[in-house]
Amino acid sequence: MSNEQRPPLPPFSHETAAQKVRLAENAWNSRDPARVSLGYSVDSAWRNRAEFVNGREAIVAFLSRKWARELDYRLIKELWAFTGNRIAVRFAYEFRDDSRNWYRAYGNENWEFGEDGLMERRFACINDLPIRESERQFFWPQGDRPADHPGLSDLGL
């Protein structure tokens, strides 16, 4: 274990698991790969769709490629379940490609944390759905989703 800590720390309560999910959502909505990588252990292992990513440097490279393709990215995560040092989330995000085609991606993630609160393992299953621009539901300036913006359940997603 490193000297780094990323509260809240496991074991999680409902409150701290929900807090962890919102902190992750905020980091991803920053679209700053270096910032996002700091929530993961230096040797974190991911499966993201069909890609396997290992370690912070690879996370930064992966996210840099992702956000070069997925423009105007907006993400909402929602706590699904938790126990001990594990959290399951469901999420949706909207983005457009460089041809102005819009998509909503739906997925689930399983997370496992070390005692230091850094995510050691992340398994993501994601599906993209083409949408019309008029079907978008995620509107806020780049960065954190405002506290009064509806979540996934509120939006019927």
Domains in the chain: boundaries: 14-135
* pLDDT tens readout for residues 48-93: 999 999 999 999 999 999 999 999 999 999 999 999 999 999 999 9
What predicted TM-score, i.e. pTM, was given to this entire model? 0.96
For 49, the token pair is 């769709």
Q: How far is the C-alpha of 42 from the C-alpha of 59, rounded, in Å?
A: 10
Is residue 33 within 8 Å of 59, Cβ to Cβ?
A: yes
Classified by CATH at the fold level, domain 14-135 comes out as Nuclear Transport Factor 2; Chain: A, (3.10.450)
The label of the residue with tokens 């621009």 reads 133
β-bridge pairing 86-96 and 102-113: antiparallel
pLDDT at site 62: 98
Q: Which residues contact 118 (CB under 8 A, 6 or more apart)?
A: 2, 4, 5, 6, 39, 40, 41, 44
